[in-house]
Structure 1
Amino acid sequence: MNQKDFNCLKEAINEKKPILVSGCLLGMKINYKEEDSLVGELRDMLLYGQAIPVCPEVLAGMTTPRDPAEIVMANGERKVYNDKKIDVTELYQLGAERALAAARTSGAKIAIMKSKSPSCGCGKIYDGTFSESLIDGDGITAAYLKEHGIRVITEEDFLECIK
């Protein structure tokens, strides 16, 4: 996490500004396996009204559980395919648009997103082979939020920051 992201997060926490947070990190059982990735310190922010929960996949109408998906490069474009080789890129893009709308509506300037996710991953994502190999890159929503001026960090960055 760079210094600007660190400062933005500290300011948001200290001034009780809204922070967009992946719903699975808040204890919601909405990831592709219908599980959560609870971070207790983030759930506390939800209880105090500071965390704005989002799940781009759910916002796009995907079910839980759902087939795992990963980003691949196809003809020079980033595409999202599930493990059945079905192109689900449009749903992921719709989820990104709806997550950005949530950020804008709430006034959130920073998002804490689930690491490695094809939607929320920031900095590292799976390589598209479903082999659990990581590559540098951002998920569809993380990249879209960044393109529109929202700072994005992972739950790992958040935990490091609050130490």
Structure 2
Amino acid sequence: MPAKILVSACLMGHAVRYDGQSKPLLHPAIDRWRAEGRLVTICPEMSAGMPVPRPPAEIAAGAVGKDVLAGKARVVEIDGGDVTEGFIQAAENALSLARQADCRFALLIDGSPSCGSGFVYDGSFSGARHPGEGVTAALLLANGVEVYSDRQIEALVARIDELEGSQ
């Protein structure tokens, strides 16, 4: 059975980002995986009932997703609103869907306070970023899902080829 991949809805062209935009990831592997029925699409924030558009949010004080999950950090909007619980619910929804669909991998948009896997913004809303994962990426990783950013699609292709080529 081909490996399933949980994928950020914005990467699939859905206008679900905080600013009402998408960030379509155009790559031959996406087309192939879609045709093979491997892709399981989710916008974690929308699954938790967050609207589009919505105020930009960042993990406060230079923290990362695992800090939020441990209760040591908050996710805040640019206007000061605390959306931590929504982001935790979003992560739990994504993990639940990944489990239901038997997703071994996730392909997520980098930089997001939910989906970032290589970097997240530092909470200053200045564009400054630092290495780390968003809340959803951190929860997926903690539960054995291999997470790749949109910039790592070639590595994901190689990983799937490695696994399935050896079967």
- What TM-score results when the alignment is normalised by the length of structure 1? 0.84
The aligned residue for residue 126 of structure 1 is 121
Aligned-pair identity in percent equals 37
Displacement, 1:52?
0.4
The aligned residue for residue 78 of structure 2 is 83
The aligned residue for residue 29 of structure 1 is 15
1:110 to 94, 102, 105: 105
Q: Deviations over 1:79-134 (max 9, x none)?
A: 10000101100000000000000100000011011001000000210000001111
Q: What secondary structure, in the 3-state scheme, does the structure 2 residue paired with 1:153 have?
A: strand
Q: Unmatched 5+ residue regions in structure 1? A: 1-14
Count of matched residue positions in the alignment of Structure 1 and Structure 2 = 149
Q: What secondary structure, in the 3-state scheme, does the structure 1 residue paired with 2:49 have?
A: coil
CA-based RMSD of the aligned residues comes to: 2.0
Kept in 2, the 8 Å contact 1:46–1:52? The answer is no
Q: Which runs of structure 2 are paired with 1:1-163 in the superposition (5 Å)?
A: 16-41=2-27, 43-44=30-31, 45-73=33-61, 77-159=72-154, 162=157
- What TM-score results when the alignment is normalised by the length of structure 2? 0.82
